[in-house]
Structure 1
Amino acid sequence: MMVRDFGDDDWPGVWRIIRDVVTGQETFPYDPRMTEPQARAMWIESPPGRTVVAVADGRVLGTAKMGPNRPGPGAHVSTASFMVAPDARGSGVGTALCAFALDWARADGYAAMQFNAVVESNHAAVHLYRKQGFDILATVPRAFAHPTLGRVGLHLMYQEF
């Protein structure tokens, strides 16, 4: 598996992943009615941000987007989001994407990375982020409407470099 910059030819694979994740409504607070053009506009970052894909055998297994968490006085803190194809979960794709984003943020001079809305019932992601050095700073109770669990919390997670 290789993590590399997103190219236009990657979009069909990235869109499939985004569509599956967003319509599943279990891990991202995005509108499940999001259209393909809306998804592309939301996911593909412009500089100083970056969008990457994890690929193996010509297939997009996962994708990440990263950039400043906020503009202006908050631009020294980065953020990132990750999505992995359902059949590639548990195979190290998320770990590779997260490590890539952390390395990118450090190399670009960011002081920290912050995740604004990690669904607390997404145990695999929470475990991965904690293993990569993130702390849970706060949890907003019942802020995410999970399709089977009802309202669950959203974690604010942070790692200072």
Structure 2
Amino acid sequence: MLIREATAADWPAIWPFFRAIVAAGETYSYPRDLDEPAGRAMWMLEPPSRTVVAVDGDGTVLGSAKMNANHLGGAAHIASASFMVDPAHSGRGVGRALGEYALDWARATGFRAMQFNAVVETNTRAVALWKSLGFEIMTTLPEGFLHPTKGYVGLHIMYQRF
């Protein structure tokens, strides 16, 4: 698996799984009916932020991540990131590889920590992955997320200091 900077040519491969994940409404606080131009604007970030894709040997896009400063000004030293893995390629270590890449990018770019603002507590695979990569749950906003089948569930803020 190779992780490389995403280009405009990658968007047609990202959009189908991006759309499906967002429409499911189980893991992202994006509008479930997000259209393609809005999704592209939210995901395909301009420098100094970064959007990458994980691809296999034949160039198939397996997943993607975006990385950026969590806030501006006096809080710009904390990074954030978001990740999406094509469900057709789940269980192959794509999320872990993208997570490790994002952490390496944040450290190399000079950030002092990484914060995830909204990890849905019922997304247990993601929570376990982030914990295994050294993140802590700093707090949970009770009923911070309306899950389409589980109702109101907690929203974790997760953090890792470098």
Name the CA distance, whole Å, in 2 between partners of 1:101 and 1:143.
25
Question: Could you say which residue in structure 2 is the equivalent of 1:36?
Answer: 36
Question: Could you say which residue in structure 2 is the equivalent of 1:77?
Answer: 78
Question: Could you say which residue in structure 2 is the equivalent of 1:63?
Answer: 64
Name the CA distance, whole Å, in 2 between partners of 1:61 and 1:32.
22
Unaligned runs of 5+ in 1: none
TM-score, normalisation: structure 2: 0.98
Look up the equivalent residue of 2:92 and give its one-letter code. Answer: S
Name the CA distance, whole Å, in 2 between partners of 1:110 and 1:139.
24
Identity %: 55
Q: Deviations over 1:120-139 (max 9, x none)?
A: 00000000000000000000
Name the CA distance, whole Å, in 2 between partners of 1:43 and 1:95.
19
Name the CA distance, whole Å, in 1 between partners of 2:114 and 2:90.
23
Q: Deviations over 1:14-58 (max 9, x none)?
A: 111210110111111110110000000111111210000001122
Q: Deviations over 1:66-97 (max 9, x none)?
A: 01000111100000000000111111000000
Unaligned runs of 5+ in 2: none
Q: Deviations over 1:98-124 (max 9, x none)?
A: 000000000011000000000000000
Question: Could you say which residue in structure 1 is the equivalent of 2:138?
Answer: 137
Question: Could you say which residue in structure 2 is the equivalent of 1:106?
Answer: 107
Instruction: Indicate the RMSD between aligned Cα atoms, in angstroms.
Output: 0.6
Name the CA distance, whole Å, in 2 between partners of 1:156 and 1:31.
20
TM-score, normalisation: structure 1: 0.98
Residues 137-156 of structure 1 aligned to structure 2 (within 5 Å):
137-156=138-157
Name the CA distance, whole Å, in 2 between partners of 1:88 and 1:27.
17
